[in-house]
Amino acid sequence: MRKLIALLAFTTAYLSAPGAALAQDSKVLRIVPHSNLAILDPIWTTAYMSRNHGYMIYDTLFGTDENSQVKPQMVDTWTVSPDKKVWNFKLRSGLAFHDGKPVTGEDVVASLNRWGKRDAMGVALMGFVDKLEATGADAFRMTLKEPCGFVLEALGKPSSNVPFIMQKRIAETDAFKQIEEHIGSGPYVFVREEFKPGDKAVYVRNAKYVPRKEAPSGSTGGKQVFVERVEWNLALRDAQAQVNALAKGEIDILEQPSFPLIPGLKANPDVVVYSYSPVPLQYMARFNHLHKPFDNPKVRQAALAAFAQEPFLQAQVGVKELYRTCDSMFTCGTPYASSFGTEIQSKSNMKKAQELLKASGYDGTPVVLMKPTDLAAIDKLPDVAAQLMRQAGFKVDLQAMDWQTLVGRRAKKDAPDKGGWNMFLTAWQGPDIWNPIANATMDTRGEASGWFGWGKDDKILELRNLFMRETDDGKRKKLAEAIQARAFEVATHAPLGEFDAPLAARKSVTGHFRGTGNFYWNVKKN
């Protein structure tokens, strides 16, 4: 007993010493993420916090590197039949879930089936699938009704919704209900007992994870873990307090600093600020097509005409080098970007918006516009939207709430006066919207659509189906332009310009690399 007491005393003294505390601290990565984490199911929602949580604990069959190339991740080898209809995949060895059970072909099939009911690209892919089956403990097969050219692009998509692989019994949860268990096979293990929404989320290193041997790039390559524990500070929401905590070394990474505070961060010699994403993000206003007044496309057109992009960008970002207008609904600078058919917004003005609203027969129904109070990247957008809409002649009911409440509420199809909504604003990362298949707003199946707003338009669906089957790049470009023109005509949503969202970190944190997501593998803390 005396020896034990002496050992405890020595250990306490050691850990109290500055050097020892620093050594312990180097194993804990402390992050202030861009928002609170409340929804833990990355298939049920497109929210990026849920996606980032997914990347911590799950793994993917394929990924997308920083050059937008699809590479294998959980998959070892695959073959395609000469007619391009039969795809056989074999998983790499060493894949196991956090509870020790091996990852099987049956887990993959169940996971893809659930994802294929929620994600726009997943729904599109499953429309081609005749049969999806496990062909062995570590293998599965996808048999298509007809060839399509985006199988790997869908399986390797880097952003919401990501086809994360879950255990079969969990993945068999109804796609429109949230999962209740969170067991993955990824580089970190979620510590559920320490999770407190609005306070913190904790992840510990998965000691049994077997990373690929390739260098990391985007969501691909070797996911090496160099820290023992990652803590997400969900409580620190004040923008200045976040910057102060980073400057003092109380946190290591600030995912999304407030735009006006970025110049000050760049002047701090202990901090590095950089854009981690190789493509910009795009702001968007999304209408609820189910309820008045936006069940009327002419009313949606009036709102679209009122939404000049520059006021949104100037108010929200302010730092000129971080934003730019973009007429296209598909990410500017990518193959399908175009100004074709954009005139109703790009060449409109407030007088035109007022005329369109008057001609629409708008009866003064208030627009319930949801405003997040705790998401620095978009919190000013609703105020601008409300001001412009009121100038156009709309009545606007601006309702403030935290982002996670908004994320939950936007899934409701109830009438606005029964807890539903009419409009919200958000931001998408480039790969989520850069083609007509991935772009969730182009899934215009109405209430059957997986994404919030539930737009319905048979013409867009018809053109989108042609796009999926077309193999000629020139013809695909023309189809994408036709889809965009139709989307502007029926006002599926309003693109509001593009921006870069830099990340800030202590210089003692190294190993960052570019990719469309906040990835915390291959990060060292010195």
Query: What is the CATH classification number for the domain harbouring 66?
Result: 3.90.76.10
pLDDT tens digit string along 260-289? 999 999 999 999 998 888 889 999 999 999
Q: In this structure, what token pair is assigned to residue 95? A: 């894949």
Do residues 285 and 252 both lie within one domain? Answer: no
Question: Residue 117 domain-assigned?
Answer: yes
H or E segment at 495? Answer: strand 493-499
286/411 same-domain check: yes
Q: Provide the domain limits for residue 463.
A: 281-499
Regarding whether 471 and 370 lie in a shared domain, the answer is: yes
Which pLDDT value is given to residue 512? 76
Check pLDDT > 60 for residue 309.
Answer: yes
Report whether pLDDT(232) > 80.
yes
Does any domain span residue 27?
Answer: no
In 3-state terms, what secondary structure has residue 193?
Answer: helix
Residue 72 lies in a domain: yes
Q: What's the mean pLDDT in 486-505?
A: 97
Share of the chain above pLDDT 90, in %: 90
What pLDDT was estimated at residue 24? 52
CATH (domain of 333): 3.10.105.10
Backbone angles phi, psi at 256, to 5 degrees: -145, 80
CATH code of 519's domain: 3.40.190.10
Interval 62-115: pLDDT, tens = 999 988 899 999 999 999 999 999 999 999 999 999 999 999 999 999 999 999
Q: What confidence score (pLDDT) does residue 276 get?
A: 81
pLDDT band at 26 (very low <50, low <70, confident <90, very high): confident
Instruction: Looking at the structure, tell me whether residues 387 and 476 fall in a common domain.
Output: yes
Residues 486 and 507 in one domain: no
User: Which of the listed residues 171, 201, 221 is the one where a domain comes to its end?
Assistant: 171
Q: Are residues 167 and 238 in the same domain?
A: no
pLDDT at residue 34 greater than cutoff 90: yes
Assess whether 102 and 205 both reside in one domain.
no
DSSP, collapsed to helix, strand or coil, labels residue 401 as strand
Is 339 found in the same domain as 254?
no
Residue 180 within any structural domain of the chain: no
- The model's pTM: 0.90
Both 467 and 520 in one domain: the answer is: no
pLDDT confidence of 516, banded at 50, 70, 90?
A: confident
Say which residues have a Cβ less than 8 Å from residue 495's Cβ, sequence separation at least 6: 282, 283, 284, 309, 326, 327, 328, 329, 345
The more confidently predicted of residues 517 and 30 is 30
Backbone Cα Rg of the chain: 24
Domain count for the chain, please give it: 3
When pLDDT is cut at 50, 70 and 90, the band that residue 2 belongs to is very low
Q: Is 389 left (phi over 0), alpha (psi -120 to 50) or beta?
A: alpha
- Specify if 383 maps to a domain: yes
How buried is residue 25: exposed, middle or buried, by Cβ count under 10 Å (0-12/13-18/19+)? middle
- The three-state secondary structure class of 458 is helix
Ranges assigned E (strand) in 23-65: 28-32, 62-64
The pLDDT-based confidence of 4 (bands split at 50, 70, 90) is very low
Q: Is residue 30 a part of any domain in this protein?
A: no
Helix (H, G, I), strand (E, B) or coil at 390: helix
Rounded to the nearest 5 degrees, what angle is found at the Cα of 444, between the Cα atoms of 442 and 449?
Answer: 105
Reported as a single tens digit per residue, the pLDDT across 318-364 is: 999 999 999 999 999 999 999 999 999 999 999 999 999 999 999 99
Q: Is residue 15 scored above 70 in pLDDT? A: no
pLDDT per residue as tens digits for the range 134-164: 999 999 999 999 999 899 999 999 999 999 9
Question: How many CB atoms lie under 10 A from the CB of residue 5?
Answer: 9
* 416 occurs within a structural domain: yes
Are residues 332 and 453 both part of a single domain?
yes
Q: Are residues 406 and 454 in the same domain?
A: yes
Same-domain check for residues 336 and 440: yes
Query: In the predicted model, what is the mean pLDDT of residues 212-218?
Result: 94
The answer as to whether 28 is a domain residue is no
User: Taking the mean position of all CA atoms in its chain, how far away is CA 48?
Assistant: 4
